[in-house]
């Protein structure tokens, strides 16, 4: 009986060990399966993440590059109503020649359509920030209105006051270029990216106004940096405003233009236009600047 009991104990111990080994192998198999799935997922997503990281790196390198090394027209601006701080000097944009105005009318940006090669046609975002900090005025807008608008955008979208001021100045300049209400441009930016210049959608729309760079690649050819300029606030706003202007012209109304801009092809735009127009009303109410048409 003692021998039988001993054999039974050994058998139970062996079964216990085998059970634990089996559980260990099961857990290992589960983790191995998870590792395989993660590897497959990373093999699909890492290339796109690497490309996004490369674009952001290139944009940051340019923005942080010392001014003395910035010799391109990464953020070229055509004639407008204000003095801005340009590379090399502070120039009155209103004194530019008719060639630049003609290039704008043709929808061309910078050197691709302008014959004026002076420093007055070149502006980068760091200069716009300097102008904002210096209290650069906006034609037709009181300092109180500009400050109220800056405070509203900076507070609501959690960006620096200087950045808000630079974007507002640029919106008013670009709005005059394209004949669009600057507060409409600011509202589109609010809905599209919440003022994140590095935002990118799952379909590849980039920057403040979420421009589809693959679709509108030719519009960035005028910039030395090519489509990477979509991550520059000024370049993105200029191209985005041209697209919006063309959409409004094609559809015959702001509401139709917004539906076109968001890519709606059916009878409804999913509420996109209503969101933009509601935000434009809030911006106008906060700033005290009348809504333009």
Whether residue 276 sits in one domain with residue 144: yes
Whether residue 83 sits in one domain with residue 166: yes
Whether residue 188 sits in one domain with residue 271: yes
Whether residue 228 sits in one domain with residue 283: yes
Whether residue 279 sits in one domain with residue 186: yes
pTM assigned to the model = 0.64
Q: How would you write the pLDDT of the chain (293 residues) with one tens digit per residue?
A: 555 555 676 667 777 778 788 888 888 888 888 888 888 777 766 666 666 666 666 666 555 554 444 443 344 444 443 444 333 333 333 333 333 333 433 334 343 333 332 332 344 788 888 888 998 899 889 999 999 999 999 999 999 999 999 999 999 999 999 999 999 999 999 999 999 999 999 999 999 999 999 899 888 888 777 788 899 999 999 999 999 999 999 999 999 999 999 998 877 898 999 999 999 999 999 999 998 75
Task: List the Cα angle 57/235/84 in 5-degree steps.
Answer: 110
Number of separate domains in the chain: 2
Whether residue 235 sits in one domain with residue 159: yes
Whether residue 239 sits in one domain with residue 183: yes
In a domain, 187, yes or no: yes
Whether residue 102 sits in one domain with residue 56: no
Domain stops at, among 15, 36, 64? 64
In a domain, 152, yes or no: yes
Whole domain around residue 116: which residue ranges?
Answer: 75-287
Distance CA 78, CA 82 (A): 11
Whether residue 87 sits in one domain with residue 54: no
N residues, the chain: 293
In a domain, 69, yes or no: no
Is 88 within 8 Å of 80 (Cβ atoms)?
no
In a domain, 113, yes or no: yes
Judged by phi (left if over 0) then psi (alpha if -120 to 50, else beta), residue 205 lies in beta
Q: How far is CA 149 from CA 78, 144, 165, 193, 267, in A?
A: 24, 9, 8, 18, 34
Whether residue 197 sits in one domain with residue 138: yes
Q: Which two tokens stand for residue 263?
A: 């890519």
Whether residue 244 sits in one domain with residue 123: yes
Whether residue 29 sits in one domain with residue 152: no
């Amino acid at each position: 009986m003692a021998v039988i009991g001993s054999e039974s104990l050994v058998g139970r111990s062996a079964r216990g060990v085998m059970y634990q080994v089996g559980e260990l192998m099961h857990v290992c198999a589960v983790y191995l399966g998870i590792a395989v799935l993660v590897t497959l997922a990373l093999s699909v997503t890492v290339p796109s993440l690497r490309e996004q990281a490369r674009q952001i790196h290139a944009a940051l390198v340019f923005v942080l590059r010392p001014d003395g090394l910035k010799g391109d027209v990464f953020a070229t601006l055509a004639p407008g109503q204000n003095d801005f701080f340009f590379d090399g000097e502070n120039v009155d944009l209103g004194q530019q020649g008719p060639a630049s105005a003609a290039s704008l009318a043709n929808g061309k940006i910078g050197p691709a359509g302008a014959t004026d090669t002076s420093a007055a046609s070149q502006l980068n975002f760091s200069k716009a920030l300097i102008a904002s900090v210096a209290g650069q005025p906006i034609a037709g807008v009181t300092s109180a209105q500009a400050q109220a608008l800056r405070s509203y955008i900076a507070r609501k979208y959690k960006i620096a006051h200087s950045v808000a001021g630079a974007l507002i100045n640029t919106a008013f300049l670009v709005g005059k270029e394209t004949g669009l209400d600057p507060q409409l441009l600011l509202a589109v930016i609010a809905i599209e990216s919440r003022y994140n210049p590095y935002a990118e959608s799952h379909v590849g729309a980039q920057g403040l106004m979420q421009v589809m760079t693959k679709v509108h690649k030719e519009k960035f050819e005028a910039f030395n940096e090519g489509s990477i300029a979509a991550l520059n606030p000024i370049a993105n706003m200029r191209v985005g405003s041209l697209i919006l202007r063309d959409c409004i012209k094609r559809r015959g109304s702001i509401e139709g233009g917004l539906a076109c801009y968001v890519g709606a092809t059916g009878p409804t735009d999913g509420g996109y236009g209503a969101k933009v127009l509601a935000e434009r009303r809030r911006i106008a109410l906060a700033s005290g600047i009348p809504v333009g048409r």
